[in-house]
């Protein structure tokens, strides 16, 4: 459940920081440099995480950068933080489903098998 919670929580926390707060802090800049800077920071924050650094390639970071730009513009045009959060959540959704089937479900099935009475 921790993996799923972190994937869901990251969509909310990262978008609040990189789109909402960064946007408000640097609102004196024009939107194009702001989109690039916040998206580079967003990509770099994923590089700082050991797990992603070990599994991500340059292509992964380019995709993260482009997603950051698209989520920035979804916030820029709508002025609604829910759109980038939803986009980030949908991007993380396959990983949430995989984590559920890989980690939680087998543990739950094993606990049911071990706890059943043999007849």
Whether 22 shows a pLDDT value over 80: the answer reads no
- Mean pLDDT score, 54-83: 92
- Mean pLDDT score, 29-49: 86
Can you read off the two tokens belonging to residue 30? 């024009």
Is residue 89 within 8 A of residue 5, CB to CB? The reply is: no
* pTM listed for this prediction: 0.72
pLDDT computed for residue 92 by the predictor: 87
| Stronger pLDDT, 97 or 110, i.e. the higher one | 97
pLDDT computed for residue 61 by the predictor: 93
Return the percentage of the chain with pLDDT > 90, whole number. Answer: 29
Give dist(CA 35, CA 14) in Å, integer: 14
Can you read off the two tokens belonging to residue 17? 């920081």
pLDDT computed for residue 2 by the predictor: 61
**Which 3 state secondary structure label does DSSP give 83?**
helix
Is residue 103 within 8 A of residue 78, CB to CB? The reply is: no
pLDDT computed for residue 7 by the predictor: 72
pLDDT level of residue 83 (50, 70, 90 thresholds): very high
Give dist(CA 61, CA 55) in Å, integer: 11
């Amino acid at each position: 459940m921790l993996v799923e919670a972190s994937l869901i929580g990251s969509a909310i926390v990262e978008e609040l920081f990189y789109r909402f707060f960064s946007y408000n802090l640097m609102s004196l800049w024009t939107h194009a440099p702001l989109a690039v800077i916040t998206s580079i920071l967003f990509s770099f924050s994923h590089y700082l995480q050991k797990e992603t650094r070990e599994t991500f390639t340059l292509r992964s970071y380019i995709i993260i950068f482009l997603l950051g730009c698209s989520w920035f513009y979804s916030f820029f045009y709508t002025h609604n933080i829910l759109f980038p959060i939803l986009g980030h959540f949908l991007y993380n959704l396959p990983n949430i489903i995989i984590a559920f089937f890989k980690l939680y479900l087998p543990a739950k099935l094993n606990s049911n098998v071990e706890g059943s009475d043999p007849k």
